[in-house]
Amino acid sequence: METIAYPLNMENKYMIPYINACIRAVAKQFNTSVERAFYYLYNFKGIHFLVEFHETEHLLSIEDAVDDLIVCCQNNGGHWHRDISKDKEISNIHKAQVQRIFLVSYIVDRLTEYLVMDYNMEVTDALKIVYQSKVYKQLIDEDGELYIQSPSYVYELLKREM
C-alpha cells in the first residue's frame, strides 16, 4: 500500500484523535491491550486504511469503522476473532480507571500530533513511535503516575528516548 503524508492542518486536525479512538475501540472489542490492537492494525494495514480513507470513515459510527477495519485487516492477512464472553462495559470499570484511560488517550493524541508537527512525520510513523516507546509503557503503567503529567512534559521524555 502506498504511503500517504498528511500535514497537520485544519482539515485533518481531528485525524489523530479519531485514529486513536478506533484503536481503543478495537482493543475493547477484542478484549486486548491498546498496544496490541495498534500492532494488529498497523501490521495488517488498518492504520493506513484509516489515514487514507479518513474523510469517509470519520462520518461513520466507531462500530462501523471497526467493522471496516476488521475487513481491511482480514484482507491483508490478519485473523482476529472477537470473544464476546470477555467484553467489558465501561460501566464496570472503576471511575479512577476511566479517568486514567482518558488522560492516557489524550496524551497519546498529543504526542502523535507533536511528532507530526515537529518532525514533519506521517501519522502512521508517529503512532508507531509512540506505541513502541518506553515512555508509552511508563504511561500505561497502573503503578506509575506519568499519565498525570502534561503532554508537553511526556513529549520531552519521548524526545530524549528517540
Q: What is the pLDDT of residues 44-101, one digit of tens each?
A: 999 999 988 888 888 888 899 999 998 899 898 887 655 433 434 444 556 667 678 8
Three cell numbers written together for 155: 513529549
Residue 2's pLDDT band (boundaries 50, 70, 90)? very low
Q: What is the pLDDT of residues 11-47, one digit of tens each?
A: 567 888 899 999 999 998 888 888 889 989 998 999 9
- What are the distances in angstroms from CA 135 to CA 27, 98, 156? 20, 20, 10
The reported pLDDT for the residue numbered 95 is 63
The reported pLDDT for the residue numbered 94 is 64
- What are the distances in angstroms from CA 94 to CA 31, 34, 54, 97, 98? 17, 18, 32, 5, 6
pTM value is 0.71
Residue 8's pLDDT band (boundaries 50, 70, 90)? low
Three cell numbers written together for 11: 482539515
